[in-house]
Amino acid sequence: MKVSNPLTIVAIFAGVAETFATGALVLLPETMQAKFIDFVMFFPVLIVVTFFLILVFKPQVLYAPSDFANEEHFLHANNLKDVVAQETEKVLNEAKQKNQISGDLKALSKRVADLTVRGLEDEMDKRVLSYMLERPREAFTPRGLGHILTTSKHATFDSLMRLEKMEKVVSGMDGDIKVWQAKT
């Protein structure tokens, strides 16, 4: 079972904790059993309350990148692009104060953030293409290739689409399933 979502991790943790707590209950002396039963009863309540507080105040942290149809939306939901741009702007401000650069810092920091994302996409494209070139006679689905490379099927699909535009891979149909193969 692939665990790709924080909700799954919380559920597994709660289930395992309750199972072990129930098993441990019979091994405790009777004097401690009452306190332990209270803990076992209120622990799930604490988890549920914490979950709903997170859900109300920061719901985007409960989703993995693969939960989004487009992982660019994950970046927007978590403001990661903005954070990179802000941090870059701070560094550029410091450099500007030391008279090391000039120009519009907001535009420059936005450009750095975009270049960072593009760099990550290029790195992903290289990984996908490298793997496919090592196996030129095989055809891959985004899900299968994503599983092999331990990335999401959406990121793999986006990479395959970019590589297809660059004419480095070709797509075709295997029955009713679309597959990609390295162009040789």
Residue-wise pLDDT tens for the chain (184 aa)? Answer: 666 667 777 788 888 888 888 888 888 888 888 888 888 888 888 888 888 888 777 776 776 666 666 666 666 666 666 767 777 777 777 777 777 666 676 777 777 777 777 778 888 899 999 999 999 999 999 989 988 888 878 888 999 999 999 999 999 999 999 999 998 8
End-to-end Cα separation, the chain, in angstroms: 35
- Length of the chain measured in residues: 184
pTM of this prediction?
A: 0.51
